[in-house]
Structure formats: structure tokens, C-alpha cells
Amino acid sequence: MSDFKPGDRVRVKANHTVHGGREAWIRESSDSCCGYEVLLEGAKETVWIPPSYLISLATTTPPVREVTLTTAASLISGDRAKDYGDAAESFTRLAALWTPILGVDVTPEQVALCLTQLKISRLVGTPGHTDSWVDAAGYIALGSEIAARGRDEG
């Protein structure tokens, strides 16, 4: 296995998964398996790529903010959307569950804000925990989408 690590930007050879060769970000590597999980530039979902398809580190490293937002976008639009379904429906269910516990009406937008605050609270203690930054960005994006739907319907 090469010396690529999560967060590295790499060039990927054209193959059965990648047409025309592209740049990608390493999301995860597997010592026990056969490659790297990468997020191809412009893609919404990650794919596994064998080490032989990775050419080199890309000459430009994207800013951390770009990697954080791109990763959050790929998760909330890909794996997590598939696993958990529509965020507005999920946050509406959570709001209905929290309302009797808190004794006040809770909106789906407030659920997004509270989940974001949970991640911020965790980051106060562990600011180097990348996943919490990504998750917080994802919750903000989902809250923004839910609020926009409400404006469109209202």
C-alpha cells in the first residue's frame, strides 16, 4: 500500500470506475483489503480504488474548508441519505419526539440547530476530531435545506 492517507488529494488513472482520469480525495484506506475509499472531484459518493490506480499526490492540496464541505455534502447526499432517508422527515420525527420531553414545540429547523450544537459541544473538548466538523457542516446544510423548503411552501 502507498503512503496515501485520509485527506490527501490524489490523481486517479482512468479505469472501469473513473472515466478519463480525475483527481480525488482519500477518505479512508484499508490495510486489510485492497485499496482506498476516495471521493472523486465532482462526485457525490465515494468509491473504492485499488492502489495501482492512484498515480500520485495531486500538485494542489485543497483547503481544509473545501475538504470538510465536500465530505459533508457527499455524506448527506449519499450514504447517510440512503441509510436514513429524507432529512426533513427524520428531523420532523425528532421534533415530535422532543416536543413532549421539552414541553415546547420544536421545529425541524431547531432539530438541525440542536444537532449542530451537539457537534460544537463535542468540538470544544476535541477540536481535532475531523468527523465532528464534517457532521456540523452537514447538519447546517440540512437545516438550511429544510428552512428553504418551508419558505417555498409558505
Higher pLDDT, 84 or 24: 84
- 91: pLDDT strictly greater than 90: yes
Pinpoint the alpha helices (H) of 44-129.
64-77, 79-84, 87-102, 108-125
Q: Are 47 and 37 in contact (CB under 8 A)?
A: yes
pLDDT of residue 61: 67
pLDDT of residue 1: 45
Question: pTM, whole model, 2 decimals?
Answer: 0.63
- 116: pLDDT strictly greater than 80: yes
In angstroms, the CA 22 to CA 39 distance is 10
Higher pLDDT, 5 or 20: 5
pLDDT of residue 59: 62
* Averaged pLDDT of the chain: 84
Beta bridge partners of 40: 24
- 16: pLDDT strictly greater than 90: no
Q: Band of the pLDDT at 135, cuts 50, 70, 90?
A: very high
Contacts of residue 154, defined as CB under 8 A and 6 or more positions apart, other chains included, come to none
Q: Are 48 and 36 in contact (CB under 8 A)?
A: yes
- 71: pLDDT strictly greater than 80: yes
Q: Are 17 and 49 in contact (CB under 8 A)?
A: yes
